[in-house]
Amino acid sequence: MATKTTTTTKTTTSRGFSWRRIVNFCAFVAVVLIAVALVLAKIFSGNTVSSAMTIVANAIAYFIASVSAFFYARSKRHWGYLVAWLVSVILIVIFMFLNM
């Protein structure tokens, strides 16, 4: 009597470089920084560490929104979307540095 043997192969996933993974990680860091900054601001009311963390979290959030908007604008065929994206990003950068 012959026995039948089967072999299974293990499926592995690639953990290589991907923009989606980077954007998701940046979003996670931004959310954690916002949460910690809000807790520190509530405990110490006006702490410079919490305000610095808020600035960093906002910068990461602006970056994530800008990257997402760029991919949306690039997917459209009209050049006006890219121009509107570029003007918006420039205004965000200017006003972010003016408030610092």
- Supply the pTM of this predicted model: 0.59
In-domain check, residue 64: yes
- pLDDT, residue 68, reads 82
Count of structural domains within the chain:
1
Which residue positions in the chain have pLDDT lower than 50? none
In eight-state DSSP terms, residue 11 is P
- pLDDT, residue 29, reads 75
In-domain check, residue 34: yes
In-domain check, residue 32: yes
In-domain check, residue 91: yes
- pLDDT, residue 31, reads 67
- Reference 58, options 30, 84, 38, 16; nearest CA is 30
Distances (CA, A) of 26 to 21, 30, 46, 69, 98: 9, 6, 25, 15, 24
Query: What is the extent of the structural domain holding 48?
Result: 19-98
In-domain check, residue 13: no
In-domain check, residue 59: yes
- Reference 52, options 62, 43, 41; nearest CA is 41
State the chain's maximal CA–CA distance in angstroms: 83
